[in-house]
Amino acid sequence: MTDWAGRQSDEVVKDWLRQMHLIRFFDEKVDEFFAKGMIHGTTHLCVGQEASAVGACAPLKDDDMITSTHRGHGHCIAKGAEPDRMMAELFGRVTGYCKGKGGSMHIADVDKGNLGANGIVGGGIPLAVGAALTSQMKKQGKVAVCFFGDGATNEGSFHESLNLASIWKLPVVFVCENNQYGMSGPVKDMVNIEDIADRGASYGIPGRVVDGNNLLEMADVMEEAVMQARSGSGPVLIEAKTYRWKGHSKSDAKKYRTREEEKDWRTNKDPIKRFEEWLLEEGRITKEEAETIRQSALDEINRAVEFAENSEEPSMDTILEDVYA
């Protein structure tokens, strides 16, 4: 594995820290507003998984593409989405990415290469393969990165997509965020192998296991995978082992796991804390700069909330607009 991430400029690595703070503050605010009944529908939070999103998007170019999941707020922010438009979408306002009609699970920003989150488990995997096929046929040089959870690897869309991508050597990187639980069941009860990345071998695709809570490791593995995909050598399957601090969705009481387990991940494996400690140890940042970055991210999310609250709700006259049939 290279040290690509460690060689990036101070400006770049500090921005990675800022992005992770943005993701966490965004989802914590969303959690708060759902509890207060200010946001409706449902949501799936990625608190604790910030490094896998930021690390995966770190080596991507602006015109590279991603497909996301129901737990996709982090992917959107890491690919350059504006938190104010994201928050407005969750509040159901016309200034949101989907004019307030899509909600948490359907944020898309095609201008930034984000082809959209998806409420269907495994639903984004064939979409990424299609985007990669388009790039290959038109010789665009773009790479598609496909995010999905461990539960999606038992869906037919996963196996069919990996097979097709392998046959045609498509420029796609499959990123499985293994947060240890498929809804309310542990991975070990769903899959009879230690590493989901091993499934890549069945399709002639190299599989890589990475600590998804280590941003540097995640970015380095992704940089190699993106280079391989872009060069025409075919897809890569990456399994990022991580952990969601919150429940599967807002109604999840998390009775299927212990509080001791949760405390261990929060205390010893917090991706933001680990990356900030590395920055401090390497002399890449001071404690004062770290606090300024943290506060700046919090201020940005607070402004996003204010923007959303002050935006208009869609008119009933527009209910049939933007509907594709």
pLDDT tens for 243-278 read: 999 989 888 888 899 999 999 999 999 999 999 999
Return the pLDDT at 37. 87
Return the pLDDT at 250. 80
In this structure, are strands 144-149 and 172-178 parallel, antiparallel, or unpaired? parallel
Return the pLDDT at 253. 83
Q: Which phi and psi angles does 35 have, rounded to 5°? A: -65, -30
Cα(199)–Cα(204) distance, integer angstroms: 9
Q: Among 180, 178, 148, 181, which Cα is nearest to 162's?
A: 148
The dihedral sign for the CA sequence 270, 277, 52, 240: negative
Cα radius of gyration rounded to whole Å, the chain: 19
Which residue type, as a one-letter code, is found at position 158? Answer: F
Q: Among 296, 222, 190, 198, which Cα is nearest to 54's?
A: 222
List all residues 6 or more positions away from 267 whose beta carbon is below 8 Å from its beta carbon.
Answer: none
Return the pLDDT at 1. 61
List all residues 6 or more positions away from 9 whose beta carbon is below 8 Å from its beta carbon.
Answer: none
Tell me how far the alpha carbon of residue 16 is from its chain's centroid.
Answer: 14
Return the pLDDT at 185. 87
Given a contact cutoff of 8 angstroms between Cβ atoms, the answer to whether 91 and 139 are in contact is no
CA separation, residue 284 to residues 216, 240, 245 (Å): 14, 25, 28
Domains present along the chain, CATH in parentheses: 5-282 (3.40.50.970)
Strand partners, 181: 186
Return the pLDDT at 252. 83
Which tens digit of pLDDT belongs to each residue from 42-77?
899 999 999 999 999 999 999 999 999 999 999 999
Return the pLDDT at 206. 98
Return the pLDDT at 59. 98
Q: Which parts of the chain sit beneath pLDDT 50?
A: none
* DSSP 3-state of 314: coil
The pTM score is 0.95
Q: Among 130, 128, 131, 141, which Cα is nearest to 232's?
A: 141
Q: Which phi and psi angles does 186 have, rounded to 5°? A: -65, 150
